[in-house]
Amino acid sequence: MPELNPQMAKILELMDDAMKDRPERVTLSPVEARAQTTATFEAFWNADRPTLWAVYNHEIPGPAGPIRMRLYDPGIARPAPCLVYIHGGGWVICSLDTHDGACRRLALAGEFMVASVDYRLAPEHKFPAGLEDCVAAVRWIAAHGADWGIDPGRLAIGGDSAGANLALATLLSLRDAGAQPVRAGLLIYGAYDTGTDTASHAAYGDGSYIISIDDMHWFWGHYLRGEADKRNPLAAPLLADLRDLPPLLLTACEFDPLLDDSRRLVARLEEAGTPHRFAFWPGVTHACIHMTRMLDVAQNHIEDSASWVREQLSA
């Protein structure tokens, strides 16, 4: 039988206690949900964020106006390899700030720069707006990143949850456009299909493990414009042709409704002959990479993921 990591179990107890007098996310508007995430998640899980040599806030041109980006520099020789990072949050919540600690740790562990993208959020900006921002960010860094000390020949893209969805969709978009400046993709416990009829949703989708089936319906409902988008492979990458992509690392948590999304994606990648590695993280839940202050294995998972990216960018 699956068994929660004891530290993970304590975290869930803490989170249940913190949320007991707060409304469920699916009863909130997106604006209210963002405020609740800032109040209950952002400060606590970033309290132990490490110090870096430098962190810069930038703006680059985007398809609908400036895109904010945050560049994390661990103090390495330039021109430096870079991981373009797409934060999670169901395409609706989270920000550069919620993922600040995770990006700092990835940069330190991997000895590369991390460029975090503040893409447009739904439902104010539905699919494909956020994806268009991510594609524009990668293209801009490939063309102009040298001005920031980045080696445009050593770029990777990564993201967690909805950010993993956007990272994979960005790779697909770049491939289909005939220009692929990215050498590797890091996909951390991603959402790759709109369906919730999997075994992992049934086992872990009741709300006991960070996200629920109801949450996923709420997120997808805000992100997509209608039924046609559910069949668009750039929204649901499990439907895509997955050939001719750079090497991918997929990670998945044992106690996560989205576990089977990653397992199904692995099967599709094997069919396509696309190079990939699958890292299964036992005993932990969705969002675990943020929990280093209470969850020892979270740092291990960050270091393993960053090491894989570094290897891909060193080859």
Catalytic residues: 161, 256, 286
Tell me which residue of 310, 285, 301 sits closest to 250, measured CA to CA.
Answer: 301
User: Would you call 113 exposed, middle or buried from its count of C-beta atoms within 10 A (0-12, 13-18, 19+)?
Assistant: buried
> Which residues, in sequence order, are CB contacts of 96 under 8 Å at separation 6+?
68, 70, 87, 116, 118
Number of H helices, E strands in the chain: 11, 8
d(CA 113, CA 303): 14
d(CA 210, CA 254): 12
| SS3 state of residue 212 | strand
DSSP secondary structure of 260-305 = HHHHHHHHHHHHHT--EEEEEEEEEETTGGG-TTT-HHHHHHHHHH
Show the DSSP H helices in the chain as ranges.
Answer: 6-19, 30-37, 43-45, 100-110, 129-144, 162-176, 199-204, 213-223, 227-230, 259-272, 296-314
Alpha-carbon dihedral sign for residues 268, 270, 273, 275:
positive
d(CA 282, CA 297): 10
> Which string of b and e fits 147-168 if b means at least 16 CB within 10 Å?
ebbbbeebbbbbbbbbbbbbbb
